[in-house]
Amino acid sequence: MFYDQRQFLDELERQGEITRLDVPIRVTRGDNEMMALSRHLSLEDGPCVWLEQCEGLNTPGVPVLVGNIGTRRRLQLALEAESWVAAKERLVRMLNTPASAWPEPQIVDAAQAPCKEVIITGEDVDLETQVPKVWFGEEWSAMLSDTICATTHPETGLLNASCLLHSFIDQKPDGTLFDDALRKRHLMSYIFWNPHAGNHVGMNYAAAVERGEPLPVAIACCIDPQLLIVGGGPRCPQGAHPWDKYAMTGALRGAPIQLVKCETLDLYVPASAEFVLEGEVLPDVHLMDYKHGNFLGYYNEEQLLPVTRIHCITHRRDPIWHPTRSFLPPYDHSFLQIMTIEAETLRSLRGAFPQVQDVVAFPSFGGRALFLVVQLNVDAEQKPSSWFGHQIIHAVWGSPGRYGASAKYVVVVGPDINPYSADDVIWALNTRVQPKSDSIFNEHGQALYFDPSLSAGEQGSTWNSEQLGIDATFKVPERLSRLHAVPARPPAAAMEAIRAKLAGRLPRRGTGRATG
C-alpha cells in the first residue's frame, strides 16, 4: 500500500511512468498551457509529468504534477493490481465488505504527521502566497483538487469525508480583483449549494445554515491515491461507519489509514497530506462563481456559492502539488471516475445477475456514466431468458449506486465483444441490433448534472433525462431459432501470440485508449 502520494510517485518512477520536465509551462489566469498539456498527455497515452518550471506560479519552488492518474495503467498501479480488470475487482471486493469490518483509522500525534511540518494560523494566513494556484484553459479561478474534505453534521455528528472541489476567490464579474482581505482569507466552496439527499456534505451545510452557524471544514490536498479513489468514488451510506470513507479506504488498503487531528477544529485529516486548509463555511455569505470546466467537456455557467473562511494552513516542509481539472475527456482524473463507476455498477448488477461479466465506461464518449457497456458471460441460447439484455438494461437504471441510474446510454453485449473496444461495440450495434425492437426508451430517467442537452433548471440542468438502452446480444431465441452468423475473427490466443511475436518491432502510437 502507499502511505502517501510520494510513495506512489516512487512506484511510477520504477515503472517508467513519470518524466521530469524542465521546459517552462505557463500556469496563470488567461495565459496558461495546462489544459493543452493535460489533454496532450491523455490523447498520446503519455507519462505523468513532474513540472519543475511553472511560469507565474504564486508559490515558486513547489513542483507541480500532471497526469499521475491519467491512464488506465497508472490508476491500476495506484490500486496495486496487475490489470484494470483486477483493479476493478479489488474495488468490488471492498464494496462487498460490510462496514462493520472496515478498520478504524490510526490516530497519530502531530509530531508524527508530515502535514504538520509547517503550521500557519490567524493573521499569518495568506492564500495568495501560501497555497499554489494553477489555471487550466479559460477558467475563472484557480481551484483546489485532489482533496478530501471533512465535515460533520451539526446535529448528529456524523462524519462525511469526500473529495470535493473548491475555488479561490480572486476576481469579480467585471474582471477586477476582490479586496486583499477577501482574497487572502477566503476560498469559495464549490459543492455545498446542493443539499439533496445524495450529497452528505450539502446536507451538513444545510443543517448548519438552518441553525445560523458556520460549518467547520478541513480540506486535505494531494493525498494518497487510494484515499482519492475512494473519496471521490463509491457511495458510502451516511452513518455506515463513524469514520466514513477514511474507514472504507482502510478496507481497500487492508490496513488502517493514519489520521491526525486538526490544529483549530475537532476534525481529522490524513497525516500524509501535502497541504491541509482548516476553516468554516459561512452561513450568510455567497458569491458568484464563473466558468469552470466540467466532466462533460463544457464550461459551467455562473453559480452562486457559499464562501469558506480559512484560518489555518499546514503543509509539508517541501510540498508538491497536483492540480487536475475536468474538460473535454479524456483528461487526468477521468480514469478515476470511470473506475469507480464501473466497479459500483458491476457490484450492483452481479448481486442479481451472475451472468454479468464486466461493466465499462468510456471517458471519450462524454465522460462519467453517460455511456455504459455491460458485457455478459453468456449469449444466444445460453441466456437464462428471452430478452435477457432488456432485463439487464432495466437493472442498470434501477441500480442503487450513484451512477447506473443516470446512464444515458446502456449497451449490452455478449462475451465475444471486447467492451473496452469502441470498434467492437459499434460492430455489435451494426450487426446484432434492430434499432426499434432491440432498444428501450425511457423518457423519465435520472439526469447527469451539467448535461448541456437538458433543459435549464434553477442552477443549470434539471434532474430528469431521457435514456436509451440497446440489447446488442444475439437474438436467439427472440427472433432466431439458432445462431447462424459466425464471427470471422482470430481467437484471443492467436492475437496474444502475434502481439508477443511483434513486441518491440513496430513503432508505438499512443491513442489514450487502453484496453481491458
| Mean pLDDT (10-residue bins), the chain, 516 residues | 92 95 91 91 89 94 92 93 94 94 97 97 91 91 90 95 86 73 65 54 88 95 94 85 96 96 98 96 82 79 83 96 83 81 93 96 66 96 96 94 86 96 95 96 83 66 83 94 83 88 74 43
Calculate the alpha carbon distances from 87 to 250, 339, 349, 508 in Å: 16, 8, 18, 25
Q: Strand pairing of 303-315 and 275-289?
A: antiparallel
Which CATH number is associated with domain 351-490? 3.40.1670.10
Residue 165's pLDDT is: 82
Cβ–Cβ < 8 Å for 101, 94: no
> Which positions ≥6 away from 508 have C-beta within 8 Å?
none
This prediction's pTM: 0.88
Residue 349's pLDDT is: 96
**What whole-number distance in Å separates Cα of residue 338 and Cα of residue 367?**
8
Range list of β-strands (E), 100-207: 106-107, 118-121, 143-144, 147-152, 159-162, 166-168, 186-189
Residue 194's pLDDT is: 46
3-state SS record for 406-459: HCCEEEEECCCCCCCCHHHHHHHHHHHCCCCCCEEEEEEEECCCCCCCCCEECC
Cβ–Cβ < 8 Å for 167, 136: no
Q: In which residue are the cell numbers 495503467 written?
A: 73
The CATH fold assigned to 5-99+117-315 is Pnp Oxidase; Chain A (2.30.110)
User: Left if phi > 0, otherwise alpha if psi is -120 to 50, otherwise beta: which for 211?
Assistant: alpha
**What whole-number distance in Å separates Cα of residue 139 and Cα of residue 434?**
44
Cβ–Cβ < 8 Å for 85, 235: no
Identify the bridge partners of residue 306 per DSSP, sorted by sequence position.
Answer: 286
Residue 189's pLDDT is: 59
Going from N- to C-terminal start, the domains of the chain cover 5-99+117-315, 351-490
CA angle at residue 494 from 488 to 500, to 5 degrees? 140
